Amino acid sequence: MYANPLHPGHIECLELSKDIADELWVIINSDHQARLKRGTDSFQDELYRMRVVGALKCVDRVVLSEDQDSSVCQTLEKLITEAKTQPDVEVIFTKGGDRFAGEIPERAVLEKHGVKIVDSLGKKSHSSSSYVNRLANPEDKKALAEAIAKVPEAEREQEYIEVGVRPWGVYYVMEDHPSFKVKKIVVTPGARLSLQSHKHRSEHWVVVSGNATVTIRDSAHADHIGHRIVAPNESCYIPQGFVHRLANQGEESLILIEVQTGTYMGEDDIERYEDDYDRTSDS
């Protein structure tokens, strides 16, 4: 659990979890994992989040994740092993409704130890990202506003779940569900994204305005590179694992709609091979 920040949806999930257990142990994702997920520093640091969650009446123990990727597999392994040293203990893993049980990376660890998964506790009625967007540091908010102001007014979005400013342009998250995500992407003239691939998702691109220069490389045939110009009202498909790149070689902004499908749509599911901006973790 990130609880970054804690909101009523988190509390409902925790209270429902305690209703089916004698003790409730909560794993808090670290600041490192928060940076992997969002590409920015944590809104509230890990120690602060641990104290807030630990103060809840329903919570018996809070543990900071020691995993270096976005999962809590390593931390879970240790806690399950510890819990099972006690006689007649049944371990249950509970989660909210943001992702289905079959899609979480921790599933293999849980199945290995015979841990029951209780899914969809609480309604998806709140979003930590929306709170962060409203309560952002004034300087960060000013910098974000200045970056978005560089995007032509006709190309901006007013209603969105999340906005991300990148060296190549800006993206807006329009829909975010456990099995898919929808983005509007605006690439500035002359800019291009990194040459990259994704382990857990495929992508569908539909060009709305401008011309997209698309590079697609089959992961099984590294020497084969396909180039294609995608015009407005045309689309292309990027299969999971394929190396690809998006560029705008035109003189006007490139606007496209990206639909991601797969088991995980986090911003940290990017492996870069070449990048004009020397990035390693943000998209």
For the chain, what are the domain ranges?
A: 8-118, 138-274
**Distance in angstroms (rounded) separating the CA atoms of residues 91 and 106:** 14
Contact (Cβ atoms closer than 8 angstroms) between residue 71 and residue 103: no
pLDDT in tens, the chain (283 residues): 888 778 788 888 899 999 999 999 999 999 888 877 766 677 788 999 899 999 999 999 999 999 988 889 999 999 999 999 998 899 999 987 655 556 678 888 999 999 999 887 766 555 555 544 544 455 555 665 666 666 666 666 656 777 888 899 989 888 888 788 999 999 999 999 999 999 999 999 999 999 999 999 876 655 555 778 999 999 999 999 999 999 999 999 999 999 999 988 888 889 999 999 987 644 4
CATH domain 138-274 topology? Jelly Rolls (2.60.120)
Report CA-CA distances (Å) from 89 to 23, 82, 101, 115, 136: 11, 11, 22, 11, 43
* This model's pTM is above 0.85: no
Beta strands at 116-118 and 25-28: parallel, antiparallel or unpaired: unpaired
CATH code for the structural domain at 8-118? 3.40.50.620
